[in-house]
Structure 1
Amino acid sequence: NIFLLVVFLPALLMGQNEVSIISIYPDSCLDSECVWPGDANFDGAVNSKDIIQIGSLFSQTSENKRTMATTNWVEQACSDWEVSKFNVNAKHADSDGNGIIDFLDTEVVEKNYSSVSLKTDETIPSDSLGPPIYILSNYDTVNQSDSIIYSIYLGSDETPAENVYGVSMKWQHETPEVFGSDNSADFNGSWLGTKNVDMIANGFPLEDGIDIGMSRTDQQNRTGKGRISTVRIIVPDNLGEIQKDINLVLTDLLIISFEGDTIHPNIILQDPVVILGNRIKDLNILEKNVLVYPNPNSGILNLESRLQLDKIRIVDLSGRSLYVQINPSLHEVFDLSGFGRGLYVIEFQSGGVTAYERVFVE
């Protein structure tokens, strides 16, 4: 409970100096009335889903401010506002209790963010006909102390993501050697919106990944395809001689329209990365001198190399060889449109060293 001490010093009463202390307590709070700062969707936990609720009610105001509002994680009474969203009263999205829902309320979500179970959620709804959601890393192999940059994509040319207002997603891995690393998210170039202009967006670091919340703020859905966010994981520099695998997996997901309709995507791709041990660090030189783009692509793929390659081979996930070229030039263009939509592996060799790059054809 919150209380306020008002001290009058000194006070002359009956010829003596006295100190009067008045304790003022906020109204009692029933479960149905309580506001917990940061729990904007009133589900009992502060996480990235609360960003969507704030974005859906952005700029709403009310005279019903909380008495002696605090952003500390304590229950506080507040009269209902006149508006609700997703069957939750708007007062819960006013995280700082000042009577207006704005960017400042997202700071309270960050302040009171509390991670939940680290177990994979096996119940994420998906739809094979829905818009694809997938993740691609910048490299298949990295050295210790490198940064792994994952790009998260939603929608494609064939199946765009329609009528999206907010996205909440949690990505986690099971590589204990990388637990506690520096994890962050970036939203530059997201087709869903521009952060702090028409979108609020936060990445909440977890011990084993990141929890991302994104929501538009203009009450207008958006239809699109392509990258919606990037995630950076910095690999520690003390992992020793043995190589490690890290696979960032989608463990929780909510995609929703402004009207409250849930969008079920087609979850089609994870992208494991190999962290090289110290003894084989030099094997990464070849991969870092070859650039494959664009990825994903619509069938036309460029490969540029600063090293002379001996061979390029394209295979599908079953290992079937689809194309081989000996002594390619430093810049090659491949037409993969005849291979069909899906994931393929580009194998390139130079001086007895072989490296690989996965590409996705939309």
Structure 2
Amino acid sequence: MNQFMRIITKLSAVLLTVVFLNAPQTGISQTPYQTNQILVDSQFYSQVFNAFSLFIISHPSNGSATRINSPGARQMRYTPNPGFIGRDSVSIEVHYTVGANPNIKWYHYEIEVKESIVWINDLEIAIPANSGWHFIDLMGNDSSTSDSLQLSNISAVNRGFLEISNDSVFFKPISGFNGMGYIKYTACDEYNECGSATAHINIVDSSNVVVDGNLHLHTFRNRSVRALLPSIDYEVDEEPELGTVTPVGNTGIWEYKPIQNVTGEDSFKFQLNEEFFTTVYVTIHDIDDPNTFLVDDFIYTPKNTSVEFNVLENDLKNNINIQSFSAVTEGTLTHLGNGNFLYQPDSNFTGQANFTYRVCILGNCETARVAIFVGNLNPQNNLTYKLTTTKNRPLVINYEVPISNFMFHITQSPEFGALEVYPGIDTITIGCRDVRGNNLVVYEPNQDFVGLDEFELEYCVDGQLDCQVVKIEVEVLDLTIDSICVCIDDCVWPGDVNYDGKVDMRDLLSLGWYIGSVGISREDVDLVNWYGQSGDDWVSNQVSGENLKHADTDGDGLVSAADTFAISNFYNKVHTLLVEERYEHRDFAISLVEASSGPYYAGDLVRFYVVAGSESNPAMDLHGIAMSYNFNNTPFDFSNLHAVEYPSSWLTYDGPSLFMDKGFDNQLDFALTRMDGIGAIGFGIITEVGFIIEDDIDGFRRFPGDEEIFRVGVSLNNVTGFFAGAREYRLPETSSHFDIIIPGREMRPEFSEDLLHLFPNPAGSSDQIQLHLNGGYQIKSIELYDMKGRPIMKLDDIYSNRHHFTMDQLATGLYLIRVTTDAGPVTKKLQWIAE
């Protein structure tokens, strides 16, 4: 496995939607936003409201909505147009009481009308650790309105092995492992309606139960949370006070459900055989209820340019009036009436300004936020853009930004092609494709030209003097696309999952959110050469508005962990101009904590923990996080720069995850994301970063009067959080340091077992076993034993502070490694997983 690229895959779970079929329903949770499915030519019924009146405030586009009114039992019925298949929506207003200040609620329904409906449900089971093959009835509780539901594929397997025989699925846990394993699968019917789910497999080993253990869990008001126990035989010893705890089958998985609307601290205790106890502490955090008729606004304006906008246009209720609004954080704000505002930024200010407005409808009030981004949205120009196209194929730069008064000027023409700018909003035809955009730039290479070409563009905003020059280098690949209509715009660039123009760790965060989605597969997929590839749009879009087809990087019609290959292979590639960053910010602590003990010598292994959140300010609803680890102004070089997911990370404690790292030039980019669409709450260690100080530090000698220790600064930059709801925020950067002992100092730290590092552990057949001894000490010999003490291997005369070896011929299991050093012996336990 490439030392700079490690992918740890766990499996995704699928959020279930409420489904109503052809009959009135009661007792359904009255959430303000619902997604529902019905069959073609059938009807949808809302839940029954014990209310005074019900009004339809937004009618469907492809059907009709009617009220069903009985005293104290109000309901909405949706009827799609005959033969209609697709998505429709309805919004209603429910008056629970009457009078001067009635209790009013608003509900919004998205209705998917389909030829068939599938129900694919998660599965929870328990199996013993160190056991053999187990039959897993993956689809035992799955169903479809048709009779043709079949297992389509297995997306991934975690913490075990899988075999399929005669359509039966068998799972075998990894030897020596206890904890959660997963099987991710997709099932489809004859109408190509598909769904994905996860088998959660608790691999239990009662011999590893601690006498008195603790679990610390966090959840939101009205959200359940699971406690995962290492035995199926635990019983509740002390009940919680603020909720209930119930077993999820006989699996060792227990679900805690807080009382409706309660917040605070709760605890409960489990016991096993009156000897082992586990206490679970739960913090129930408050959370703002979502707005039901007001929608936040995002406004963009160039620097030194006023902007007029209406905040009510996108709200879900018509004919409303603003009750009040706050002062804007930067600049000058004027209310013109009827929801219209005029904003004037301060002179030369760039950044984000915010204010809120409040609307009350008969005493039912909501507050919405308005974020105003001030700036010219310049293309990033710190480096030369390296774009690609194929032979005889035009390259279109469609710079899509939420301002329109910009333009491009050609400041340097290409040598081996033609360059043209189409000013203003225009639709042009290239071959048999129409492309629409604002100030489109088209580069067309000369006939049959292959190689490098370059040109320069100047980006200007009307009335602004500080134009930006961008340098663009185009590589024309010696490839001829065998297609009547080659893709020109909105192409799939494998790896650019979020379709922002660049392949980076943020694409892994988006991939984790959409894992399990299915759509139309692509033909002629190329994961070797970087160019835009044709792909039909999928039915669904990402939350950002980009089509979901971009998440399927390998073109197989399924968003899966396999799509990480293209992110790795095309990492840092770009295919268009990149807009300057304009993230919103969230403010919880990100910190680096030294995990190994310094000061360090040449050849030592250094480790840092990455900690997210704090006890006083935990991270809320976090789904994934990406960042860059950098060294600051150091004369030294470092090798084996890598990161790993922390085994007991709070971010992925109860859910499947995906991890990736990519290192280059003394920088390490890495990301960790869940794959179940559920945000986590908590604080503590999430990942670990490690590297080795290069031996050439010996050329950096201390002279009389010099300090004996050189302090090296490290930092985490470009920290991006991906939160539930698919919203990205920039998080605070952080820094730390470690100390290197300059050669010439004789004193070594006192020897301890902690100076010896064994990794990876667990290790598999594709891994080399690495031993690293810090502190200036040396490894003399290595001995390998099985758990019965029988010798297997011995390596003598090493006399180095590091060594690696393989165990490819050995069976899965636990092994003992005895390392003799120049300061004495050290024994470590290793878990080996053979293929």
> Do they fold alike, i.e. is TM over 0.5?
yes
* 1:180–1:207 Cα contact (<8 Å) kept: no
2:493 aligned residue = 36
Mapped to 1, the partners of 2:751 and 2:553 lie a distance apart of 47
1:337 aligned residue = none
> For the structure 1 residues 235 and 60, does the alpha-carbon distance in structure 2 shift closer, same or farther, using more than 3 Å as the test?
same
Q: Give the counterpart of 1:210 among 633, 644, 668.
A: 668
Mapped to 2, the partners of 1:276 and 1:115 lie a distance apart of 39
In the alignment, structure 1 residue 238 sits paired with structure 2 residue 696: yes
Mapped to 2, the partners of 1:266 and 1:59 lie a distance apart of 31
Structure-to-structure mapping, 1:81-96, within 5 angstroms: 81-85=538-542, 86-96=544-554
> For the structure 1 residues 57 and 244, does the alpha-carbon distance in structure 2 shift closer, same or farther, using more than 3 Å as the test?
same
| SS of structure 2 residue aligned to 1:165 | strand
| SS of structure 2 residue aligned to 1:43 | coil
Q: Give the counterpart of 1:256 among 722, 737, 750.
A: 722
1:51 aligned residue = 508
Report the AA paired with residue 722 of structure 2. Answer: I
**What RMSD in Å do the two structures reach over aligned CA positions?**
3.1
> For the structure 1 residues 262 and 123, does the alpha-carbon distance in structure 2 shift closer, same or farther, using more than 3 Å as the test?
closer
* 1:52–1:214 Cα contact (<8 Å) kept: yes
1:108, CA displacement in angstroms? Answer: 1.6
Mapped to 1, the partners of 2:582 and 2:601 lie a distance apart of 34
Structure-to-structure mapping, 1:287-326, within 5 angstroms: none
1:150, CA displacement in angstroms? Answer: 0.8
1:300 aligned residue = none
1:203, CA displacement in angstroms? Answer: 1.0
1:111, CA displacement in angstroms? Answer: 1.3
Q: Give the counterpart of 1:70 among 516, 523, 526.
A: 526
* 2:613–2:619 Cα contact (<8 Å) kept: yes
* 2:515–2:675 Cα contact (<8 Å) kept: yes
| SS of structure 1 residue aligned to 2:717 | strand
Mapped to 1, the partners of 2:641 and 2:484 lie a distance apart of 39
Mapped to 1, the partners of 2:613 and 2:713 lie a distance apart of 21
1:24, CA displacement in angstroms? Answer: 3.1
Structure-to-structure mapping, 1:171-210, within 5 angstroms: 171-175=629-633, 177-179=635-637, 181-187=639-645, 188-193=647-652, 198-210=656-668
Q: Give the counterpart of 1:273 among 738, 747, 756.
A: 738
In the alignment, structure 1 residue 227 sits paired with structure 2 residue 685: yes
1:163-206 CA-partner distances (Å, limit 9, x unpaired): 001111111113454446221111022222169x7111101112
Report the AA paired with residue 740 of structure 2. Answer: I
1:340 aligned residue = none
Mapped to 1, the partners of 2:662 and 2:559 lie a distance apart of 20
* 2:592–2:609 Cα contact (<8 Å) kept: yes
Larger Rg: 2
> For the structure 1 residues 245 and 123, does the alpha-carbon distance in structure 2 shift closer, same or farther, using more than 3 Å as the test?
farther
> For the structure 1 residues 27 and 201, does the alpha-carbon distance in structure 2 shift closer, same or farther, using more than 3 Å as the test?
farther
> For the structure 1 residues 23 and 102, does the alpha-carbon distance in structure 2 shift closer, same or farther, using more than 3 Å as the test?
closer
1:352 aligned residue = none
1:87, CA displacement in angstroms? Answer: 2.4
* 2:660–2:672 Cα contact (<8 Å) kept: yes
In the alignment, structure 1 residue 285 sits paired with structure 2 residue 749: yes
Of 210-219 and 131-140, more deviation after overlay is shown by 131-140
1:114 aligned residue = 572
Identical-residue share of aligned pairs (%):
22
Higher relative contact order (CA 8 A, sep 6+): 1
1:49-71 CA-partner distances (Å, limit 9, x unpaired): 110011111000102x2221121
| SS of structure 2 residue aligned to 1:104 | helix
Report the AA paired with residue 739 of structure 2. Answer: V
* 1:38–1:112 Cα contact (<8 Å) kept: yes
1:159 aligned residue = 617
> For the structure 1 residues 216 and 99, does the alpha-carbon distance in structure 2 shift closer, same or farther, using more than 3 Å as the test?
same
Mapped to 1, the partners of 2:526 and 2:625 lie a distance apart of 28
Higher helix share: 1
| SS of structure 2 residue aligned to 1:84 | coil
Report the AA paired with residue 254 of structure 1. Answer: T
Report the AA paired with residue 49 of structure 1. Answer: R
* 1:167–1:213 Cα contact (<8 Å) kept: yes
* 1:140–1:274 Cα contact (<8 Å) kept: yes
Mapped to 2, the partners of 1:275 and 1:27 lie a distance apart of 59
| SS of structure 2 residue aligned to 1:30 | coil
1:42-93 CA-partner distances (Å, limit 9, x unpaired): 1221111110011111000102x22211213221011211122232221111
> For the structure 1 residues 34 and 219, does the alpha-carbon distance in structure 2 shift closer, same or farther, using more than 3 Å as the test?
same
| SS of structure 2 residue aligned to 1:49 | helix
2:588 aligned residue = 131
> For the structure 1 residues 104 and 77, does the alpha-carbon distance in structure 2 shift closer, same or farther, using more than 3 Å as the test?
same
> For the structure 1 residues 286 and 94, does the alpha-carbon distance in structure 2 shift closer, same or farther, using more than 3 Å as the test?
same
Q: Which runs of 5+ in 2 are unaligned?
A: 1-389, 392-479, 575-579, 703-708, 756-835
In the alignment, structure 1 residue 144 sits paired with structure 2 residue 608: no
Report the AA paired with residue 252 of structure 1. Answer: N
Mapped to 1, the partners of 2:737 and 2:581 lie a distance apart of 19
Mapped to 1, the partners of 2:609 and 2:573 lie a distance apart of 23
Mapped to 1, the partners of 2:562 and 2:678 lie a distance apart of 21
Mapped to 1, the partners of 2:664 and 2:481 lie a distance apart of 40
**TM norm structure 2:** 0.29
Mapped to 1, the partners of 2:613 and 2:509 lie a distance apart of 19
1:190-237 CA-partner distances (Å, limit 9, x unpaired): 222169x71111011121221011211111111111001000111101
**TM norm structure 1:** 0.65
* 2:537–2:548 Cα contact (<8 Å) kept: yes
Report the AA paired with residue 599 of structure 2. Answer: T
Mapped to 2, the partners of 1:46 and 1:70 lie a distance apart of 16
> For the structure 1 residues 277 and 123, does the alpha-carbon distance in structure 2 shift closer, same or farther, using more than 3 Å as the test?
farther
Report the AA paired with residue 251 of structure 1. Answer: N
* 1:136–1:150 Cα contact (<8 Å) kept: yes
2:175 aligned residue = none
1:318-357 CA-partner distances (Å, limit 9, x unpaired): xxxxxxxxxxxxxxxxxxxxxxxxxxxxxxxxxxxxxxxx
